[in-house]
Structure 1
């Protein structure tokens, strides 16, 4: 009798950002663990975020799964191409904040994250989008967008999460409220605010919680608007942002919906998962269960 054929190895397309803060010495370890788990690994480097989607579209027919190594911005940049490919996604957290990994309880250690992909358990999660640009964690207008522009790559690489604090102090010292209209389910509300954030996942900003009951697979977006009289009052509210209970403050407007539209008097930048990708007017929507991702 002929011997049974060995099953074909799972083919992993691994995209690696050599500029990621934690990635310069880790990708070799990841490839080794995936290969030891019986996978055939193709490694593609990229130097700019738009290359990620192009590489996925170009090489998707040669892969059974996609592995993205980098931070939240890296994963978000490839999201729509991953959705289009229909392939499951593995995440190796090599960024500064790694909030999506935190939401999904993916280990921060490279070998453990790789072993999780080998194990093969998956979960379908939602993807948020604003003007056609994907995000997993949060998209925001105001303080976070100003912070993203101040927090250059050199500051992140040198100081890591401390770099966020340095840049945040610079932004807060110059912050001014802005006027915006928020439209939800056909109802428009006028606000004066320092920030409007729309969350798809649970964690953002290095461990803050979008909303106490937020989940990345609940089919909804969670919005909050910071309508404080003085931006320095945020210092008193920081603890509630870590737990997601900031909506208990009178100065914080909250809402939950599948879509939001936000307009401002002049175009304002929109930050998605740490990257400025578009500007107002902004249309936000959720794509339920759009991505299959490897989880513990």
Structure 2
């Protein structure tokens, strides 16, 4: 069974927003069939994505933040179908941080986001497959973070995010500065080994997390590798100076102090166990393997996006 319909999987928090309703109405007035499914609890987005596959939808649009995008991507990627046999992925960014959308150059206005789906052909994108020790399979479209960054993400309250948006992560980080504790782990990949303590560990298919922090700024969605960034703790007695440099110089100071590499896969192990956030979703394990899976999905993105080659695709899909 096939259909030219779009399925919009909308986070329930955004269901009553006038801008979302107006955007859907505008596309329907142009003749586009859009089925809207509103999530109520964990797992709904996953189930709705599979229903869209079964219905032969031409596009599945994640309407929400990075977590909603994560759940939809994971559902599609876990099927036994090739990218060309799955609905194309779209994104209507409605979250607090919208890290993936911001890095990709996607518009944050709901109507403009739907118009990207209507006007641009889908292009293949890589995903990260995450395999924890003991079995199981997880997927990540943007950035997985561990260490102090993970603590900031998990401890930032929904109320603070509602008030301050992406800046809430920065405020939480400032409040926790006095309790910074490094973790210890080892990393291994083709031609690469590293062992030691770290404050922040990021594995990126996309570029930013935590409300705008560019942790893997050179990552691309189509290169078959994942970008790894490890930030070791500063030497004894230099913590205050290092934090001052991060606050005053931001990304430049972070990247100067970091260990960075690009690999088709990387295995990460820690004796005390690891807590990672995959697009904001927590995962705990003593050992994790991250793999770049080339062209696992196709996605509607702007003609010009930092996450894909500079040249725009040759054709355009019918609106």
Alignment TM-score > 0.5, same fold: yes
Q: CA deviation at 1:197?
A: 0.9
Name the structure 1 match of 2:7: 13
Relative to structure 1, the CA distance from residue 272 to residue 98 in structure 2 (aligned partners, 3 Å threshold; closer, same or farther) is same
CA contact (8 A) 2:271 2:286 kept: no
Q: Distance in 1 between matches of 2:7 and 2:105?
A: 22
Q: Partner of 1:26: helix, strand, or coil?
A: helix
CA contact (8 A) 1:209 1:242 kept: yes
Q: CA deviation at 1:212?
A: 4.3
Q: CA deviation at 1:23?
A: 7.2
CA contact (8 A) 1:14 1:41 kept: yes
* Alignment root-mean-square deviation, CA: 2.4
Return the match for 1:255 from 255, 261, 272.
261
TM-score by length of 2: 0.81
Relative to structure 1, the CA distance from residue 162 to residue 212 in structure 2 (aligned partners, 3 Å threshold; closer, same or farther) is closer
2:169 matched to 1:176? no
Return the match for 1:30 from 6, 16, 23.
23
2:93 matched to 1:93? yes
TM-score by length of 1: 0.87
Return the match for 1:152 from 130, 133, 157.
157
Name the structure 2 match of 1:5: none
The farther-off stretch of 87-96 and 113-122 is 113-122
Name the structure 2 match of 1:199: 204
Name the structure 2 match of 1:294: 300
The farther-off stretch of 161-170 and 69-78 is 161-170
| Post-superposition CA distance 1:18-60 (Å, at most 9, x none) | 225x974432123113313322111111123422112211332
> How is 1:1-296 mapped onto 2 (pairs within 5 angstroms)?
10-19=4-13, 24-62=17-55, 63-83=57-77, 84=79, 86-131=86-131, 132-185=137-190, 188-229=193-234, 231-232=239-240, 233-237=242-246, 242=251, 246-247=254-255, 249=256, 251-296=257-302
Q: CA deviation at 1:191?
A: 0.9
Q: CA deviation at 1:221?
A: 0.6
Relative to structure 1, the CA distance from residue 33 to residue 277 in structure 2 (aligned partners, 3 Å threshold; closer, same or farther) is farther
Aligned length: 285
Relative to structure 1, the CA distance from residue 146 to residue 43 in structure 2 (aligned partners, 3 Å threshold; closer, same or farther) is same
Q: CA deviation at 1:125?
A: 1.2
- Unaligned 5+ runs, structure 1: 1-7
